[in-house]
Amino acid sequence: MPEPWSVRPIGVATLTGRGCGVWWMVALVLFAAGMSRVANFQIRPRRMWFLLNDDF
């Protein structure tokens, strides 16, 4: 009888196997970095627009 985590796909194996906390921390850090980059890209053009149109 094979071990259950060897039958599952690789993604599930990495999340449910050893070091699952490490993988979740890496995923959270990458997700937070991506969200902050998206927020910066959305905020910067508006700031530049307000800086360029000071007289309004």
pLDDT (tens digit, 9 = 90+) per residue, 6-26? 555 556 555 556 666 777 788
Regarding pTM above 0.95, the answer is no
CA distances from 37 to 8, 14, 42, 48, 50 (A): 33, 26, 9, 16, 20
pLDDT given for residue 38 in this prediction: 74
Instruction: Answer yes or no: are the C-beta atoms of 22 and 15 closer than 8 Å.
Output: no
Dump pLDDT digits (tens) for 25-49: 888 899 988 888 777 766 666 666 6
Neighbours of 15 (CB within 10 A): 15
pLDDT given for residue 17 in this prediction: 61
